[in-house]
Structure 1
Amino acid sequence: MTARLLVSTGGAFLSIGLLIPAVPRYVTGPLDAQTGWVGVSLAVTAAAGLIARPLAGRVADRSGRRAAVFAGALLLCGSSLALLLAGNLSLFLLLRGVAGVGEALVYVGLAALASDHRRPGAAINHFSVAVNAGLLTGPALAETLYAAAGFTAVWIAAAISALVPAILAAALPKTTLPKTTLSKPNAGPDPSPRHVPSRRPRSALRAGFGYLASVWGYTVVSAFLPLHLAALGTGSGGAHFLVYGIVLLAVRLAGQRLLATASPARLAVASLLLTGVGSILLAAWPSPAGTWCAIALTGAGQGLGLPAFLRMAVHGVPPGERGSAVATTTAFFDIGFLSAALTLGALAGQFGLAGGFVLAGAVSAAGALLFLPPLFRHDEHRDEHQGAPRDPSRR
């Protein structure tokens, strides 16, 4: 199951990554739209994904993880192919909305499947590596394809990449847990002492707010770093994005055991503080050297973040509710990206980039306060990967 899960995840997020540089270029090129419509196209995708998250969670929990993956992958594939016919802005925006729904379904289905694994900590970390590998590889591959054969090659490659998880979905299980452990929609409470349905909203929301705070720091790099580098006169940022990706993946790969077994709360605190300091450093040390240090810190923080937030979201949650828990937590990515992009953009226009960087860093660092109390209590997540229940006598 693990190999199929990772290949499916890599294919889905490679498809998404391929469109990252192509969408802005297509909007301002063949569609001849103003630059502002690039932001609208990003907002449409994010908003559609946000609206679709609850549906994605229900599909993953009630119809099975593979149903969510299959439906989402087909939507990604179909929306990418249809871009071949998108000759006007209205149709293009509609297709980007469809892609947002597809992203939500495939992300929730694959993440829920990873959380079902007998060693969820390790599986979630491997899943997160595949997510970022696809997202980081996609833009570079898209630039190569565009240079060779234009937008047509990029759209077709994105469709083929999305077709991989659609095909493999038939070989994926509904879940890796016994059927008897899944909650039925009309079933009564599970008599098992480990069934704690009230934990889902609490754990998923706390992880979600932490994820939102983290995304503010991520938005600084993904959306505003090129503007910062242009102001410094040091290029467009290709090398910086590469280093950011290398650091992120190095943390995930080198720290596999730590990310799989350490307290998610401790990891979340480290992630948010590193991300926050990285954003503030861009404003405090506006130089090439300062930018490199900021990129390395932010990459390390982001490397620690996603595995911690996903582990936290599903810890103690019954299998039949994990899809909804994942959907709740990951919805905060879209909320965070939209709120950060709009706010930081407005601040940049009024006070310059530095003010936005400081605010983003403050939001990320403040998010660590959500997870500080568990640092002084018994680590309730320590034996999560072994399935050992917490000893109620230990405080």
Structure 2
Amino acid sequence: MTRLLMACAAACFLSLGLLIPTIPKYVTGPLGQGPGLVGGCLAITAGCAVLFRPLAGRLADRRGRRAAACTGAALLAITSFAVLMAESLPLFLACRAVAGAGEALTYVGLAAAASDHDRPGAAINRFSVAVNAGLLAGPALAEAGHSVAGLRAAWALSGAVALVAFVACLFLPAGPAAVGDPAGTRKTGPLVHRAGLRPGLAYWASVWGYTAFSAFLPLHVAALGGSGSGPHFLVYGCVLLAVRLGGQRWANRIDPRRTATAALLVTAAGLALLVAWPSVTGALVAAAVIGAGQALGLPAFLTMAVTGLPAAQRGSAVATTTAFFDLGFMTAALALGAVVQSSGLAYGFAVAGCVPALAPLLFLSLSRKARKTSPQGGSHDHSRG
């Protein structure tokens, strides 16, 4: 089941990754719009993803993981193919809005399926590896496709990959909430699950670090006289995948709160390096450090959210936690853009680093409760699913 789940996740997010360089070129090329609309297009997709995540969690819990994942993959395929006929800007924006809903449904359905594993920490870690592999491979394949067959080929390939993902998702298990309960009468979680709020806020803080790195690193490297930020993003991606692959063995052995705390502090340290070591080499080291921090974060946040919950509520908890990614990206982009505009890149990186550096304070009350309830000050076993 885990291999099938990873294949589904890799295919879905390869479909999305193919569009990372394609959307800006399509908006400023065939649609004839300015670069400002690129940000608006991305905001529409992210906004719809935020709105649909709670509904995706409810669907995953009531109708099963397969239903949510299949619906999301189908929407991704339909919207990519529809762009081939979208000659007008309103139709294109409508397609991107629906794609946001598709991304939310796919991610929540597949992440909830990973949480049903008997070792959820390790399964969620493997799921995140597949997600990032797809997102990292997509842009390179898209650029190759652009040079050979043009932008339309990238949209067609994205739709075809999403269609393959849809077929693969049909073979996933229905999910615990749907087995023997076709009417969805089991008690499911609320649209916004309390268990996902604290790890979600930590994820939000982590995303501030990622946003500062991904949005402003190219400007930082150019200001330092570098020839481009491509090697930096390559280092970031390789370290992220290496840490997640290497972390599969101990994902279920370490308290996810400790891993989450380490992830936040390592991300903050990487941003501090960008300020303290203003050179192309320093930026490379910072990229590796930030990649390690981001690799540790998401599996820990999701494991925290679902640990101890019944299966019929995990989709809701996953949806609540992951909604903070889109909220973090939007708030960080707006706030850091204003800081960089008024005070410069160094201040932007410094502000972004303060957010994940302070976020471990979210876990202090949890640590105190654990010490109070643990006999003789011992620790709980957090490896249970």
Q: In the alignment, is the contact (CA less than 8 A) between 2:252 and 2:382 conserved in 1?
A: no
Partner of 1:355: 347
Partner of 2:322: 330
**Against the structure 1 CA distance between its residues 188 and 132, is the aligned structure 2 distance closer, same or farther, given a 3 Å change threshold?**
closer
Instruction: Give TM-score scaled by structure 2 length.
Output: 0.93
Instruction: Give TM-score scaled by structure 1 length.
Output: 0.91
Deviation at 1:255, TM superposition (A): 1.7
Partner of 2:104: 104
Deviation at 1:108, TM superposition (A): 0.3
Report the Cα distance in structure 1 between the residues aligned to 2:381 and 2:79, rounded to whole angstroms. 40
1:293 aligns with one of 266, 269, 285 = 285
Q: In the alignment, is the contact (CA less than 8 A) between 1:282 and 1:290 conserved in 2?
A: yes
Report the Cα distance in structure 2 between the residues aligned to 1:84 and 1:291, rounded to whole angstroms. 39
Partner of 1:193: none
2:270 aligns with one of 268, 278, 288 = 278
Report the Cα distance in structure 1 between the residues aligned to 2:276 and 2:198, rounded to whole angstroms. 30
**Against the structure 1 CA distance between its residues 188 and 134, is the aligned structure 2 distance closer, same or farther, given a 3 Å change threshold?**
closer
Partner of 2:156: 156
- Identity within the alignment, %: 56
Q: In the alignment, is the contact (CA less than 8 A) between 1:44 and 1:96 conserved in 2?
A: yes
Partner of 1:343: 335
Partner of 1:218: 210
Aligned with 1:382: secondary structure?
A: coil
Partner of 1:194: none
Q: Give per-residue Cα distances to partners, 1:62-114, cap 9 Å, x unaligned.
A: 11110101110010001111111222322221111111000000000000000
Partner of 1:31: 31
Structure 1: gaps (5+ residues): 190-196, 388-395
Write the letter of the residue equivalent to 2:282: G
Between 1:204-213 and 1:160-169, the stretch displaced more is 160-169
Between 1:282-291 and 1:105-114, the stretch displaced more is 282-291
Between 1:21-30 and 1:356-365, the stretch displaced more is 21-30
Report the Cα distance in structure 1 between the residues aligned to 2:187 and 2:218, rounded to whole angstroms. 54
Report the Cα distance in structure 2 between the residues aligned to 1:380 and 1:36, rounded to whole angstroms. 51
Q: In the alignment, is the contact (CA less than 8 A) between 1:124 and 1:307 conserved in 2?
A: yes
Alignment RMSD, CA only?
Answer: 2.0
Structure 1 segment 116-135 matched on structure 2, within 5 A = 116-135=116-135
Aligned with 1:172: secondary structure?
A: coil
Count of paired positions = 376
Write the letter of the residue equivalent to 2:158: A
Q: Is 1:382 matched up with 2:374? A: no
Structure 2: gaps (5+ residues): none
Report the Cα distance in structure 2 between the residues aligned to 1:323 and 1:230, rounded to whole angstroms. 42
Q: In the alignment, is the contact (CA less than 8 A) between 2:63 and 2:178 conserved in 1?
A: no
Between 1:310-319 and 1:281-290, the stretch displaced more is 281-290
Report the Cα distance in structure 1 between the residues aligned to 2:186 and 2:171, rounded to whole angstroms. 28
Partner of 2:357: 365
Partner of 2:230: 238
Q: Is 1:93 matched up with 2:93? A: yes
Q: In the alignment, is the contact (CA less than 8 A) between 1:117 and 1:177 conserved in 2?
A: no
Q: In the alignment, is the contact (CA less than 8 A) between 1:268 and 1:371 conserved in 2?
A: no
Report the Cα distance in structure 2 between the residues aligned to 1:183 and 1:82, rounded to whole angstroms. 33
Q: Is 1:79 matched up with 2:84? A: no
Write the letter of the residue equivalent to 1:10: A
Report the Cα distance in structure 2 between the residues aligned to 1:86 and 1:114, rounded to whole angstroms. 35
Aligned with 2:228: secondary structure?
A: coil
Report the Cα distance in structure 1 between the residues aligned to 2:182 and 2:251, rounded to whole angstroms. 28
Deviation at 1:165, TM superposition (A): 2.1
Write the letter of the residue equivalent to 2:154: V
Report the Cα distance in structure 2 between the residues aligned to 1:3 and 1:187, rounded to whole angstroms. 28
Q: In the alignment, is the contact (CA less than 8 A) between 1:125 and 1:260 conserved in 2?
A: no
Aligned with 1:156: secondary structure?
A: helix
Aligned with 1:123: secondary structure?
A: helix
**Against the structure 1 CA distance between its residues 48 and 177, is the aligned structure 2 distance closer, same or farther, given a 3 Å change threshold?**
closer
Report the Cα distance in structure 1 between the residues aligned to 2:127 and 2:261, rounded to whole angstroms. 21
Between 1:370-379 and 1:83-92, the stretch displaced more is 370-379
Report the Cα distance in structure 2 between the residues aligned to 1:183 and 1:286, rounded to whole angstroms. 59
**Against the structure 1 CA distance between its residues 372 and 249, is the aligned structure 2 distance closer, same or farther, given a 3 Å change threshold?**
farther
Deviation at 1:259, TM superposition (A): 2.1
Report the Cα distance in structure 2 between the residues aligned to 1:331 and 1:162, rounded to whole angstroms. 22
Aligned with 1:230: secondary structure?
A: helix
**Against the structure 1 CA distance between its residues 284 and 88, is the aligned structure 2 distance closer, same or farther, given a 3 Å change threshold?**
farther
Report the Cα distance in structure 2 between the residues aligned to 1:91 and 1:270, rounded to whole angstroms. 44
Structure 1 segment 292-331 matched on structure 2, within 5 A = 292-331=284-323
**Against the structure 1 CA distance between its residues 188 and 310, is the aligned structure 2 distance closer, same or farther, given a 3 Å change threshold?**
closer
Structure 1 segment 43-62 matched on structure 2, within 5 A = 43-62=43-62
Runs of 4 or more above 4 Å deviation: 182-189, 373-376
